[in-house]
């Protein structure tokens, strides 16, 4: 970790699928929400479309639902309804960190390397999760959502650049951990090196980033490889 500290001053983490296991959670939430609308099955094209936009932010995904599935009601009403499903799920279900994250983050703290959370989720979702798994124990006040940057969701780089600014570091002094296509693109747009957390949804696109891990026990080794090429 000492060699890593010589190269970077901060690490920025995405949330869903990057530090917490949420792939199955969002699948359950989406299925429950759609069932409430009388939709029990999606065709292959619809499934692929939702996968491609799974991390694009709540407003965009609801807009896609409404257009592609012909949902009744305004986008605002649908947002409120889906948010209730999110609140109920995260309040009542178990949420786990990705393997090795807590130990890796502790090593960052011990070496004085700053960290921040930058997510397309809403402030309300982060507040719910903070109560559940104490995100502020890891990031303090440095928990930022697209609402902090006028709802500019990834792949816009705004949330990453904003987080770097709040951490008082330049973009070239950071590295990002991400798991989604929109996150990879946002990191590239921000000019920040990115490490993917590999999963079943991104294994065909991880060539778009600087490196990848399957769990955080591999994080230090991957960081050294990238920083000392």
pLDDT tens-digit series, residues 111-137: 999 999 999 988 988 998 998 999 999
**Structural domain of residue 145, as residue ranges?**
2-21+96-227
Predicted confidence band at 141 (pLDDT cuts at 50, 70, 90)? very high
Predicted confidence band at 143 (pLDDT cuts at 50, 70, 90)? very high
Whether residue 128 is found in the same domain as residue 220:
yes
Task: Give residue 164's pLDDT.
Answer: 98
Whether residue 146 is found in the same domain as residue 192:
yes
Whether residue 124 is found in the same domain as residue 184:
yes
Whether residue 134 is found in the same domain as residue 166:
yes
The number of distinct structural domains making up the chain is 2
Whether the model pTM is above 0.75: yes
Whether residue 42 is found in the same domain as residue 135:
no
* Tens-place pLDDT, residues 169-184: 999 999 999 998 889 9
Residue pair 176/14 in contact by the 8 Å Cβ criterion = yes
Whether residue 30 is found in the same domain as residue 77:
yes
3-state secondary structure of 131: helix
Distance, in Å, from the CA atom of 48 to the CA atom of 8, rounded to the nearest integer, reads 37
Whether residue 35 is found in the same domain as residue 6:
no
3-state secondary structure of 190: helix
* Tens-place pLDDT, residues 59-103: 777 887 788 788 888 888 887 887 787 788 777 778 899 999 999
Whether residue 148 is found in the same domain as residue 53:
no
Cβ atoms within 10 Å, residue 158: 20
Buried/exposed code over 65-98 (b: 16+ C-beta within 10 A; e: otherwise): bbeeeebeeeeeebbeebbebbeebbeeeeeeeb
Whether residue 74 is found in the same domain as residue 101:
no
**pLDDT tops 60 at residue 53:** no
**pLDDT tops 60 at residue 148:** yes
Domain boundary among 67, 92, 117: 92
Per DSSP, 98 falls in state: P
Task: Give residue 55's pLDDT.
Answer: 60
Angle separating helix axes 75-92 and 58-69, nearest 10 degrees: 120
Mean pLDDT of 34-58: 70
Task: Give residue 48's pLDDT.
Answer: 66
Mean of pLDDT over the chain: 88
Whether residue 107 is found in the same domain as residue 209:
yes
Whether residue 86 is found in the same domain as residue 100:
no
**pLDDT tops 70 at residue 52:** no
**pLDDT tops 70 at residue 24:** no
Domain boundary among 92, 114, 146: 92
Return the percentage of the chain with pLDDT > 70, whole number: 93
Whether residue 160 is found in the same domain as residue 72:
no
Residues ≥6 apart with Cβ < 8 Å to 51: 201
């Amino acid at each position: 970790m000492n060699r890593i500290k010589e190269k970077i001053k901060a690490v920025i983490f995405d949330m869903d699928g990057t530090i917490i296991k949420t792939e199955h959670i969002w699948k359950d939430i989406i299925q429950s929400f759609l069932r409430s609308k009388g939709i029990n099955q999606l065709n292959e094209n619809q499934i692929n479309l939702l996968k491609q936009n799974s991390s694009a932010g709540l407003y965009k995904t609801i807009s896609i639902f409404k257009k592609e599935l012909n949902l009744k009601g305004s986008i605002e009403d649908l947002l409120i309804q889906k948010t209730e499903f999110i609140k109920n799920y995260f309040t009542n279900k178990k949420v786990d960190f990705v393997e090795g994250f807590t130990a890796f983050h502790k090593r960052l703290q011990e070496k004085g390397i700053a960290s921040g959370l930058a997510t397309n989720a809403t402030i309300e979702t982060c507040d719910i999760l903070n109560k559940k798994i104490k995100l502020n124990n890891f990031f303090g006040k440095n928990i930022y959502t697209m609402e902090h940057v006028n709802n500019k969701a990834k792949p816009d780089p705004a949330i990453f650049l904003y987080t770097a600014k709040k951490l008082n570091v330049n973009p070239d002094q950071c590295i990002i951990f991400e798991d989604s296509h929109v996150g990879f693109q946002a990191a590239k747009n921000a000019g920040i090196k990115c490490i993917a957390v590999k999963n079943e949804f991104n294994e065909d696109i991880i060539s778009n980033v600087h490196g990848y891990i399957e769990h955080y026990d591999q994080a230090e080794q991957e960081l050294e490889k990238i920083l000392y090429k």
